[in-house]
Every structure is written in structure tokens, then in C-alpha cells.
Structure 1
């Protein structure tokens, strides 16, 4: 049997640990499989504060829908904004709540990806690729999402300074968009801050799902490398019988790691099912609403900028999930070939009979298509991303 490396702190575990510490600061939820090493008094105070912030976020979402009864005198753009945010906030908050609900399952998933699988399937070059991919996608996702809120704030602030308009970023139940009292202005600023709190919480739970999906895709890369490297057993020292025994045992370890990786796949589908489905719904509906809004928007940079950033955030948000889900499917499809080229043909006599049966069963299992689904039936991939984006325009064309 090939020697199993004892687990040591690696860059993957450092990444997940750092991300989980940051996420705790956004929503007071620990997704790390151990206690977060913050001072106890700080955590006690922050946990209580976070519950208050949670209530304010819920009030914000209720206020979005209450505006349909209390804000009748709106422009065409403001009416579209009201519909856009009322609908999208409910979907995004449902995603956030679902991830928090599966906190225990996520902690177990993180432990498996960073500890159990790294004890056997660990390759430094693949880990560097994973870190680069994680940095690239998370940076793009955070940038476009935060830019959306910045653009709404800048656009509303510019109009408030240069025209007679009020600083209105979202349409709440109160104050009225034409209310120019000081208390109304302060309330709008507070609502904008609460909107930021909501966005930060939403981004944080998306990131833990995103890096977990990236980790699973690269775990399949690790598995392929593991099986391909098994041929090295027959090039080393020792008798043929000893090499065959070591190969057979090592192949069984690989099968076990494959089984654990498939368990990770089922877990990410469980904990991220609402997120994957919500992203598909958001992409189709919000892009359609934004195209409608563009028809009634003044063609100036300040007016168009929030729409452009909102479109970008939807496209990138959908893209990072569907692209990485597609990567999982692609990397998993390469595993049967890696198993076939693992060196089983070097075994002889009775060992050859046992190994061939073992390899045949393992390849048959690996040939089953691995995929992540949204809405229970849409396979998330590069192809489905293009289809979903096109369907948004098709919906807009049917309506207008």
C-alpha cells in the first residue's frame, strides 16, 4: 500500500479558515469545523449585535413589498426599481437563509475538503491552480456586487445634488420619495447602510459555496493525478508480488477517496440547491426587468451606470457558479481514463484477475455523469449559462 501522508496544515485549509473567519464577521456564523479563534467577549457581543442586524435586514425586505401600497407616485424607473428589488431581495435572502440552515453540513463538507481528502490526494501544483481560480472568481464576484451598490449610491447622490430629487436608492415603505424632511433624509441613508449589510451577508454565504465548488472540481483533478501516479509503483524497487500488492491496496484507497468526493458532491447539491436554483431565477427575471428599465432610462452615464453594474453582477454571479459547476462535471469525466491508465496491466496471474475486476467496477462507477443541478433539472455548465442568458432576452422579446 502506498504511504499516506499525515495531514499537515496546507494552503487550502488556510484559505478556508481565513474565509470562514471573514464570513463570521459578516453574519456571525461559523462555517469552520473548529471554533473561530476570536476573543470570547467579542463573539458574545457580536452574536447579539448580529441578531439585531438580522432583524433590520428582514425589515428592509418587508419594506420593499410594503412600498407597493405606500408609494403610488413613482416614475417609470422607480416603479421598475421597486419591482426589481422586491423580487430579487426575497430570492437572495432565501439563499442566505438556506445556507445558514445547512451550517452543520457545510462545516462537515469543509472539514472533508481540507482535511480528509488532503491526507491522500494532495498535489501542490493543483492546489496553486485552485488558489488562483478562487482568488480570480471571488475577486470578480465581490467587485461587481459591491460596485452595484456603489453605483446606485453615487447615481442617487449625484441626482440629489444636481436636481431637486431626493437621495433614493431603493423604494421603501417609508419615507415617501418626495418627502424632503431631515428625518426622511436620515432614514434613506440608514436604509442604504442596511442594504449594504444585507449585501455583505449575501456575498459571504455565496463565497463559501463558491470556494467549496471550486475545491470539489480540483479534488477530481487530484484524484486523476493520484490514479495516474500509481504506475510509478511498478517502476520502483521490490519484487513483482510486493508491487502488485501495493498497487491493489493503493487503488482501493483511490476508490475510497472517489467515494468521499462523490459524497462532497451530494453535500454541495444539498446545501447549495436553493442558491443554484435562485441564481437561475435571478438571471432570467432580473435581466429581463433591467432590459425593460433600460427602455425608460435617460441615456446618461450617471443614469445608465447602476443598470450596467447590476447586469454585470447578475452575469458574473451566475457565471462563477455555472462555470465552476461545469468544471466539476468536466474534471469528473476525466477520472475513468485516469483509472484505466493507472497501471493495472502490470499485474500478473491471480493479482491480475482481482485487479481487473476492481478496475472495471471503479471505472463503471466513475463513468456515471457527475453534475450539479439548478431547479432540480437544469444541469449547470458552460452551455446552460449561455442558454440561461439567451432566455432572459427571449423573455424580454416576448413581453416587448
Structure 2
């Protein structure tokens, strides 16, 4: 069942992912140095600090547009609030993950190195397939809103007597038609794209790690179920009992490592999970209000719908991948029970039953990822979170 070459490709996937995240964010989450030319790394690290300062300025000044821009419509005022709130939330989540990069590195080391001892090729193939599917969805919903807002701004700039505006800035004024003001608006749009790219890179890393944790439980379940085959092999019954007992000990060791990884994930990403829930509720509420204030034409509806789709799908990818950890962990006690302990005899049976009882007792503790410290991340909670936005909207309107 084990294929070393496929195992190496699984590690290479995470190496490529963390290299991609480094190129976007200038933060290395891999437990080794990034494989890029030293000169490039030095220059890029310096340039990235300047770009980061610009993004932070963009996020902080977003709320100020409500005071510096005059004669705004209700839709434009709501648009400023929605984009400012969403930018603040997502950049805060990004900053929290960067702050916890040491824990993320340790987590990736455990997932790609420490847990290789119970590697299963079929399970890992399924994991990589799911990761690629989720990443394709994340890239799609990340690009759609940004493209839609850019097309909307260009459409109105070409067909109406208005300036190209995607994000209403603190400066320049919306009616300023000078060349310098137009150039500044294009730069602001690029900075917004850069911020979204930062966040999408971090999202991809967190979602991949969550999927990997869920499949580590699936891998461990398969490992315990396959321990039955020990008694079908060659050798005396005493030799097979010894191999089975050693196998159980390895499984318990791997389970402890996975539990440590889950705790690290919860510790390093608890603010991200909570922030994503708040982001979903707040942005969906503001988008529904904005839709009520718009004239419901295609150019105005396209950005709103694409942003709503982006928020809902990105929240779903977060919550579904975290909820899968709970589902897969819940299958582990049953796999341990059917691992073949009943084939042991005498003193070996006594020792093995104690080990299995201890292992099942630990595995029966429910493993749940939580947002805001109280909201369990699952498919059911996702539906409840989505409904909550409409519930608040229906009370207001």
C-alpha cells in the first residue's frame, strides 16, 4: 500500500504551496528555508515591507472615505462600509496567521514528516484530489469579485460621465478628473488586489492544512483496520501477536501526534475561524442592504452577487474542511475496535485489550474546531451562520 515516491510528491505539494505563499506574502511557513535565490529573497523581503505598509495604510484609511467624500449616495456609503469592514477583517486574520508562523511550521513538519510512518497511498490520493478541488474553488471565488468590481468601474467610466472607481478612497475626490487622480485610483485598485492576494494565499494554506488533518484521521482509521492482516501473515502466533501489539503502539503514538496537530491548528487559527464567521455575517448583511439600495441593473448586481458568492464559498471551504476533521475523528474508535485485538491470546490478549481500551477512550473524546471559542465548525453550523445574516437583515427591513 505504501509508495515512497507518492509520499515524496505529497511533501513536494506542500513545499510548492508554501513557496507560492511566500512569493505572495513574503512569509515562509515551511520548516526549511525557501528554495529561491538568496539575492532575490533579500531584495524581496525589503520590497515586501514597503508593500505591506501600503496595504496597511489602505486598510486603515478605508473608513475615512465616509468623511472626506461628499455627496455620496446610500449605495456608495454602504459600499464604503462593506469594503472597509471586509478589508479590516481579512487583513486582521492574515496578520494573526503570520504572527503564528512558528506554530504553522511545526504543524507542517508534523503532517509531512512525523506522520509518514503510517502513510497510505490511496488515502493520500483522495486528500490531494480534494485539496486541488478546494483550491480551484478558492481561486475562482477570489478572482470573480475583484474582476467584477474592476469591470463595473471601467464600464461606468466608459459609458457614463463618472471616474473609474472600484474602492471609494479617502483621496482623491470622486469628481477629481485630473490625470494624477485617475492614476491614483488605478494604484488603489492594484493595492486592493494585492491585499486580496495576501489573504487568498493564507486561506489556501489554512484550508489545505485542515483537509490534511481530516485525512490523517482517515489514514489512521485505515491503519487500524489493516492491522487485522497481521494475523493472516507468516510466522508463529506469538510472533504475529507481537507484531500486532507493536502496531497498536505505533497507532496510539500517531494518534497523539494528530491530536497535538489539531490543538496547534485550533490555537494558531482560532482568530481566523472566528473572524471568518463575523466576516460572513457582516458582509452578507451589508451586501443585502446594498442590493436593496441599487437599481438592480446587471453592472451593479454582478459585483454584489460575485462578492456574496465569494464570501459564502470561502466561508464554506473553511468550515467544511474543519468540520471534516470532526467527522473523520469520530470514525476512529470503531476502527480501533475492529483492528483485530480478539485474535490475541493469553497474556498478550490482556496487554492488547488494555492498550485498545486506552486508545478508544482517548479517541472517543469529540474533536471539534471552534470559531469564536463557542461555535462548532460543521456543515450544520455553516447553514446556521448563513441564515443568521438574513435573519438580521429581515429584522432591519
Partner of residue 188, structure 1: 185
Partner of residue 369, structure 1: 366
Cα deviation for residue 7 of structure 1 reads 9.6
**1:182-331 equivalence runs, <5 A:** 182-331=179-328
Task: Give per-residue Cα distances to partners, 1:259-288, cap 9 Å, x unaligned.
Answer: 000111011111111111111001111101
Q: Distance in 1 between matches of 2:168 and 2:248?
A: 60
Runs of 4+ in 1 over 4 A off after TM superposition: 4-9
Match among 28, 31, 34 for residue 29 of structure 2: 31
Partner of residue 44, structure 2: 46
**1:165-180 equivalence runs, <5 A:** 165-180=162-177
SS of alignment partner, residue 276 of structure 1: helix
CA contact (8 A) 2:7 2:119 kept: no
CA contact (8 A) 2:7 2:121 kept: no
Q: Distance in 1 between matches of 2:73 and 2:186?
A: 21
Cα deviation for residue 115 of structure 1 reads 1.2
Cα deviation for residue 6 of structure 1 reads 8.0
Q: Are the structure 2 counterparts of residues 385 and 10 from structure 1 closer, same or farther at C-alpha, using a change threshold of 3 Å?
A: same
Q: Distance in 2 between matches of 1:299 and 1:216?
A: 43
Q: Are the structure 2 counterparts of residues 5 and 290 from structure 1 closer, same or farther at C-alpha, using a change threshold of 3 Å?
A: closer
SS of alignment partner, residue 174 of structure 1: coil
CA contact (8 A) 1:7 1:115 kept: no
SS of alignment partner, residue 118 of structure 2: coil
Cα deviation for residue 8 of structure 1 reads 8.2
Partner of residue 93, structure 1: 91
Partner of residue 71, structure 2: 73
> Is the aligned partner of 1:138 residue 2:138?
no
CA contact (8 A) 2:65 2:80 kept: yes
Task: Give per-residue Cα distances to partners, 1:181-210, cap 9 Å, x unaligned.
Answer: 111111100000000110111111111111
SS of alignment partner, residue 287 of structure 2: helix
> Is the aligned partner of 1:114 residue 2:112?
yes
Partner of residue 376, structure 2: 379
> Is the aligned partner of 1:58 residue 2:56?
yes
TM-score, with structure 2 as normaliser: 0.98
TM-score, with structure 1 as normaliser: 0.97
Query: How many residue pairs are counted as aligned between the two chains?
Result: 397
Cα deviation for residue 72 of structure 1 reads 3.2
In structure 2, runs of 5+ residues without a counterpart are none
The alignment's C-alpha RMSD in Å is 1.5
